[in-house]
Amino acid sequence: MQLQHQLTWQQAGESDDKLQGFFMPALVDLGASIIIQNAARDYLFVTNLPSTWEIPASGKPCDRSLFGDEIADKLRTIKDAIKKSGDKAHIEIAVGSEDVFEFRVQAVSLSQGDMHLVTTIIDRSEERHRERLLRALLREVSHRSKNLLAIIQSIALQTARYSGTLDGFLNKFRGRLYSLSQSQDLITDSSWRGAYFRELVEQQTQKYLPENAHLVVVKGDDVLLTPNASLHIGLALHELIVNAVSHGSLLTSRRAIEVTCSRVLVDGHDSLEVFWLEKLDPSANDSLVNEETLKGHFGSTVLERVVPASVNGKAQYAISDKEISYSLTFPLDVAE
């Protein structure tokens, strides 16, 4: 059919200018270039050549003058393998660090029996860029999934270690998994950039204070945390709010918890300080709020060891009869 169409154009007596007028818009739209050579590989027609290359100002164009020695040698190899009409070959060639072009060569014979080589050049740069990006994203997903599984494994082991019963283990483990899933939702929604601090606090506390969200007041800088920092700080916030609801006097005293995020300079490095301050009700039963109770479980391990180690930071967890405070300081450029 393609041959018949070519003959029809010739028989119609259309000029080369008109032929170009018909095909050029379609070729430009497709981003394709066409080169036609005779059996001796002399150039007969070139159109829509990518801007990467230029047709020489003088002399007849050829593969070497258009594309340079390296590409010309590769094209000669695949063209030498084409022996008869209908034979095809293709090759992809990278130009620089960003551009990729596909050269598709096929042999076409006209009615007189003369064989011509038709080379179609297609810009594959954007397509290959998307493929590289997709591969990078898949590697990133795999990397983060492994990290997340390692965190879950650690949580499971440590929760079991500090749980006296199966029901106790399941209750605490479910809560910690929920915390991770909430943080992960924010990370995913941001296209894996991380989570903003205020959103992280709100999401980690709303489950336990659905009708008392005003009891947690967030102050300071609303910083975009890295995915790694988001997961671990989210876990720390989970432990702190669970402690506040379970052991503190939050719901009885109605004293708001203050959570502050501040940019600070530590040893010349741009860092972040997260500070949790929970004022206690002096009239509450002291046996429910004491250092021995709150520090004798996995939550304290998360706050004092796991989280600061994961973000290359330092933490202080202090409990008195008046207040519970937690301070975490870590560099903003912490590696994931």
Q: Are 108 and 3 in contact (CB under 8 A)?
A: yes
Position 284 scores a pLDDT of 58
Give CA separation, 138 vs 141, 186, 319, in Å: 5, 19, 44
Position 78 scores a pLDDT of 93
Alpha carbon 66 to its chain centroid, in Å, reads 38
Position 4 scores a pLDDT of 39
Position 238 scores a pLDDT of 92
Which residues have C-beta within 8 Å of that of residue 59, sequence separation ≥ 6? Answer: 65
What residue segments make up the domains of the chain, in order of their start?
2-123, 128-331
Considering only CA atoms, which of 264, 259, 269, 265 is closest in space to residue 238? Answer: 259
Using DSSP's 3-state secondary structure scheme, residue 324 falls into: strand
Position 64 scores a pLDDT of 92
Residues 34, 120: Cα–Cα separation, whole Å: 5
State the fold for domain 2-123.
Beta-Lactamase (3.30.450)
State the fold for domain 128-331.
Heat Shock Protein 90 (3.30.565)
Rama region for 104: left / alpha / beta (φ>0; ψ in -120 to 50; rest): beta
Position 283 scores a pLDDT of 66
SS3 helix, strand, coil % of the chain, rounded to 5? 50, 25, 25
Position 2 scores a pLDDT of 39
On the CB side of 250, CA atoms within 13 Å amount to 24
Position 160 scores a pLDDT of 87
Position 301 scores a pLDDT of 84
Position 289 scores a pLDDT of 52
Position 211 scores a pLDDT of 78
Q: One digit per residue, pLDDT tens: the chain, 336 residues?
A: 333 334 333 444 555 555 555 666 666 677 688 898 998 899 988 888 888 898 888 888 899 999 999 999 999 999 999 988 889 999 999 998 889 999 999 998 876 668 899 999 999 989 999 998 889 878 877 887 888 888 888 888 888 888 888 988 898 889 889 999 999 899 888 887 889 999 999 999 888 888 777 889 999 999 999 988 999 999 999 999 988 888 756 766 678 899 999 999 888 889 999 999 998 876 655 444 555 455 556 678 889 988 999 899 999 999 888 889 999 999 987 544
